[in-house]
Structure 1
């Protein structure tokens, strides 16, 4: 009796639908509203839906650059996750836009590096703003820090050090500059960029405190000085075991040089750079870089120029610091019978791996607590270190990305020495694809002479197409993180024309054809490339000259999907042909029936 009553209740409140071949069978039950039949997609609609889903799940260029080992199909977000992502992104962009209003970076650096201008000393000003923002300098004394300066490879050296220490169980902080795509890349916790919602939280906390404590309207830190202050707040609040700190520019008067108790210091390769700011000779450059040496610290370097080493040793002696010259990575691995791994390493590991190992091991010996490793032997490789080197990923440095039938080579080389390394890497890479057209995308901001850089590029290979562009992705509104704080798009385009003229002179001197053209942005450049070379032609592309250009290229290529557009076009053409064929068949059938 009870079962019969329940069945009656169900029948009075429910309507059932059952799908059977060729029709929808509807069973009506009294008292319920009618439901429409389930719509069916035709073949063309199904194909379009499948294509859209496939395109949405394919990895973007950004993902291939930043997460090359995790580029399977993208995880589909729930509607709530999408809303949270959009909100976090909007709030982060608002914070970044506010950050960009601070004094242009180049002007602030020029002022701070002028030794005679005591009022503009960036070290003193950074300390002042740090304390105004609520973080006393004495709190930094409690932090354990590895400080690294240099012309080439300081960022990749820091990335390798951070990876090794993380492998040993340390909770790491890593401050670097500049960023490739997004401002939060500069501040990393355990190897990952600070989450955007956390960046926003810390940004407004520090920014509002500084805004409230101003003594006049312009009394705010500069762009890089603010980010340095913000970074210290984050690392202090996140309670990192060790902070790997990359110098912004120079060393002696760099904003990062406020840290008092550094026991482990690194100085990477040196070359002439930013000569209008740091000096016109290698000795002057070395003096600036050696300015981060602290009393009683251990200073590790693979600098080779005798004149630079003399300055480093002299400044170290003044502060009772010990200088240790590090072997190159190849000799280090060969002495440890690990030479077979050399081909597995990225170029930056080959160049800076041994220095990073020395820095990490020195910190592990000197630190206190459970992370201390007193028995480490500098002359021996261990599995943890090898694993860390193999797993380190530092985007945009001698990086090869396969995308849209292009082998895209990314490197931010901006000195003659680093460009030579970049060109050697590119030349080695293209030996396996000799028949591919070779494309160069280049920019170099600032007023420095680019002739040396261009000469290295011309020696590398005969480029089939050369694109000089500003650091601008496309005509779309510029992402706040990609806003160039010291050089607008119009000025950059003029600069691109100047570079193109230098290239023309070199072509005439070397008696080679000039394949160069200036484009307004990266998107236009790649459109020009694909107009010349069909989509079925694989290309070898080298993008170099500026880290900022790499960011614009990543943004531009993120939106540049000609293969998918071509596939969609072909699919549409096929669908139209099928429809026309069906119409013809239908007409023929109608005629046959009328005749019979």
Structure 2
């Protein structure tokens, strides 16, 4: 099978839907020789921030000289982004070869009467197989959905990390923060250390209780100890104290105070790896360089300065709150034009209720997905939001390309265009903007 055939095969498995549970992926990995058991895994769960936290951890280890695999989801522009080694995407040829091997294993489990694995189970098995074959020193693995029943949760990691937990995927994970925290805590294994992003006591209590049951040491970051020396829409310089170490004048190129808090999780992970002897003594200069060079596309990412254009995958209330805080902190006094598109199974009203009060114009579009919310449906929801101070202009442009062209051409130099919502939309927008501004 070649690359195009491999992608078609993966896309066609979407018909098997999404299924929480580990039996099928365990059967698949068993036939593949359980490649996940050959890996030193850092397993990362959470509602928001897990992608950038994974990116920090990955970059830190790479800059310390280790061979590091990174598995994240979803991708923005190219499927190969999901499986990387040392910041390089898996090649087309290697992806095709790995998928071919996984397909043969799938044929065997189907012959044994088991259900066909889902798309995410297949991609996860492919990542574990590829990292094992490449003999990486570490694999940083991002949980797809939840934790306890997520396909990635067939591993015994060297350390687990849990980022900020909020209300998302409630139809699968529960209706309260405590219920969702319980599902995320499913990645906690016996006697394996856990790093937790400091957050609500409700969440911390759930995680703490499970760590006690499983005799796992728990390290909660100290967000109150972060000192913000300088910050703007392009990034920040901070002092962070974690695990008995003071990191002074760390330069972060990711804007938003939440990114400094995500960094605290990553720093704790790296220090625990050092303390446990999993890595050698940390080179501080390389550590600072790895943080400075960390990027995470599609999250508060500035594409161009004229007009200032920002893309952000804020698709749940917590993510929207983080974006609004950044707009109010860094873009005060600017006219904000929001280009907004969501999936119909998300909490559209809550996200819009957070973002709309800080913008002057909303251009509603539709992500390229069968689950996309209709522009008229979103328009009706936004119209219910009380915004008494100014008149809100609402425009419907269903086609993403047309929405991007309109937003960029009608924005003046002193206005800011913010694209927010589904990552299905953000990925397409990023491609279009890169072409428009010759960033390829």
State TM-score, norm by structure 2.
Answer: 0.88
Aligned pairs, how many? 423
Does the alignment pair 1:286 with 2:175?
no
Q: Give the Å deviation of 1:345.
A: 4.9
* Further displaced range: 345-354 or 393-402: 345-354
Distance 1:502 1:510, change over 3 A: farther
Q: Give the Å deviation of 1:352.
A: 0.7
1:224 maps to: 120
Q: How far apart, in 2, do the equivalents of 1:561 and 1:264 lie?
A: 41
| 1:408-487 correspondence runs (5 A) | 408-431=309-332, 434=333, 437-460=335-358, 462-463=359-360, 465-472=361-368, 484=369
Q: How far apart, in 1, do the equivalents of 2:405 and 2:77 lie?
A: 21
Does the alignment pair 1:101 with 2:12?
yes
| 1:355-394 correspondence runs (5 A) | 355-368=265-278, 371-373=279-281, 382-394=284-296
Distance 1:95 1:277, change over 3 A: same
Q: How far apart, in 2, do the equivalents of 1:217 and 1:95 lie?
A: 24
Distance 1:246 1:334, change over 3 A: closer
Q: How far apart, in 1, do the equivalents of 2:202 and 2:325 lie?
A: 26
1:276 maps to: 171
Distance 1:188 1:159, change over 3 A: same
Contact 1:523 1:557 survives alignment (8 Å): no
2:372 maps to: 492
2:68 maps to: 172
Q: How far apart, in 1, do the equivalents of 2:274 and 2:248 lie?
A: 25
| 1:147-162 correspondence runs (5 A) | 147-162=43-58
Q: Give the Å deviation of 1:131.
A: 2.1
1:263 maps to: 158
Q: How far apart, in 2, do the equivalents of 1:310 and 1:221 lie?
A: 35
Q: How far apart, in 1, do the equivalents of 2:76 and 2:253 lie?
A: 24
Distance 1:339 1:372, change over 3 A: closer
Secondary structure of 2:140 counterpart: strand
Does the alignment pair 1:548 with 2:424?
yes
- The counterpart of 1:517, out of the listed 373, 395, 415, is 395
Q: Give the Å deviation of 1:193.
A: 1.6
Q: How far apart, in 2, do the equivalents of 1:253 and 1:456 lie?
A: 31
Q: Give the Å deviation of 1:190.
A: 0.7
Does the alignment pair 1:504 with 2:399?
no
Q: How far apart, in 2, do the equivalents of 1:314 and 1:408 lie?
A: 44
Structure 1 runs (4+) deviating above 6 angstroms are: none
Distance 1:513 1:163, change over 3 A: same
Q: How far apart, in 2, do the equivalents of 1:96 and 1:148 lie?
A: 26
Q: How far apart, in 2, do the equivalents of 1:361 and 1:531 lie?
A: 48
- The counterpart of 2:29, out of the listed 116, 130, 134, is 130
Q: Give the Å deviation of 1:283.
A: 0.7
Contact 1:286 1:308 survives alignment (8 Å): yes
Give the unaligned 5+ runs of structure 2. 228-237
1:270-319, Cα deviation, whole Å (9 max, x unpaired): 11111111000111011001110011111111232112111111111111
Q: How far apart, in 2, do the equivalents of 1:412 and 1:345 lie?
A: 14
Q: Give the Å deviation of 1:204.
A: 2.0
Q: Give the Å deviation of 1:213.
A: 4.8
Does the alignment pair 1:350 with 2:260?
yes
1:32 maps to: none
Q: Give the Å deviation of 1:493.
A: 5.1
Contact 1:156 1:394 survives alignment (8 Å): yes
Q: Give the Å deviation of 1:447.
A: 2.3
Contact 1:412 1:544 survives alignment (8 Å): yes
Contact 1:522 1:556 survives alignment (8 Å): no
Q: How far apart, in 2, do the equivalents of 1:499 and 1:286 lie?
A: 29
Q: Give the Å deviation of 1:265.
A: 0.9
Does the alignment pair 1:324 with 2:219?
yes
- The counterpart of 1:196, out of the listed 92, 109, 113, is 92
Q: How far apart, in 2, do the equivalents of 1:123 and 1:344 lie?
A: 37
Give the unaligned 5+ runs of structure 1. 1-89, 113-121, 473-483, 563-596
Contact 1:426 1:542 survives alignment (8 Å): no
1:317-374, Cα deviation, whole Å (9 max, x unpaired): 1111111111127258255675544575533531311110111221233355xx433x
Secondary structure of 2:44 counterpart: strand
Q: How far apart, in 2, do the equivalents of 1:362 and 1:224 lie?
A: 30
Q: How far apart, in 2, do the equivalents of 1:334 and 1:272 lie?
A: 28
Q: How far apart, in 1, do the equivalents of 2:58 and 2:141 lie?
A: 10
Contact 1:177 1:186 survives alignment (8 Å): yes
State TM-score, norm by structure 1.
Answer: 0.66
Secondary structure of 1:256 counterpart: coil
Q: How far apart, in 1, do the equivalents of 2:437 and 2:296 lie?
A: 25
Distance 1:203 1:344, change over 3 A: closer
- The counterpart of 1:304, out of the listed 190, 199, 210, is 199
Q: Give the Å deviation of 1:439.
A: 1.7
Q: How far apart, in 2, do the equivalents of 1:409 and 1:326 lie?
A: 29
Distance 1:226 1:515, change over 3 A: same
Larger Rg: 1
Distance 1:229 1:530, change over 3 A: closer
* Further displaced range: 419-428 or 220-229: 419-428
